[in-house]
Amino acid sequence: MMLTLVGLPFEDVRIDPKKWPALKPTMPFEQLPLLELIFNGKKKRVVKITQSHAILRYLGQAYGFSGRNHLHNAMVDELADAVDDASRAQGISDWPLVLIGKVSIPEEFGKGLDKGAYFTAKVRPSMEKQAKMIDKFLEDQEEYFGGRTVT
Ligand SMILES: N[C@@H](CCC(=O)N[C@@H](CS)C(=O)NCC(=O)O)C(=O)O
């Protein structure tokens, strides 16, 4: 989304899960996402950036989408970290793994509990709690989030 917003031509490379174990040790911090920047100056230069927030901050700062002052940037960081916390909240963090069958539904929910019931009991309330906090934070903002410009 950010690459499209800033208008940078890019190639979206998806990794075949079967090829990931061999690729993993070659990645900085052994994780994805990875932004590979190719600078075609006098001499071609390739720079790799990992960590999703670092990638987003770089694109925001380099292409005019960061806040207009330190306070606005603090708000941007605040929301980025809050969303990160939300994705790690109990119920939410394991949901994608439960969905694809990599994590089984905890015994406490009873044997044979289906995914729908688990979602209703555990995931949805957690999502609603996190969304309410994020909504409240956004309602308290000015015209745009993090100031009067798109960030
Ligand atoms: N702090 C990192 C977390 C990155 C992360 O969790 N990457 C996952 C995919 S979303 C990954 O590479 N998993 C494969 C692995 O660790 O082997 C970020 O925000 O970019």
What pLDDT, in 10s, does the model give residues 7-41? 999 999 999 999 999 999 999 999 999 999 999 98
Percent of the chain exceeding pLDDT 90 equals: 60
In this structure, are residues 145 and 75 in contact, taking their beta carbons and an 8 Å threshold?
yes
Confidence of residue 90 (pLDDT cuts 50, 70, 90): confident
In this structure, are residues 40 and 47 in contact, taking their beta carbons and an 8 Å threshold?
no
**Lowest-pLDDT choice from 13-17, 74-78, 121-125, 137-141:** 137-141
Beta bridge partners of 70: none
> Who wins on pLDDT, 142 or 119?
119
Number of continuous H segments (helices) and E segments (strands) in the chain: 7, 2
What gap in Å lies between CA 117 and CA 106, rounded to an integer? 12
Closest protein CA for atom 14 of ligand 1: 31
Q: State residue 35's pLDDT score.
A: 96
When the pLDDT of each residue in the chain is averaged and rounded to a whole number, the result is 89
pLDDT at 3 over 80: yes
Q: State residue 147's pLDDT score.
A: 66
Delineate the domains of the chain, giving CATH numbers in brackets.
Answer: 1-65 (3.40.30.10), 67-151 (no CATH)
Instruction: Give the global pTM.
Output: 0.83
Ligand 1 neighbours by CB, cut-off 6 Å: 24, 31-33, 51-53
pLDDT at 146 over 70: no
Q: State residue 110's pLDDT score.
A: 67
Closest protein CA for atom 20 of ligand 1: 51
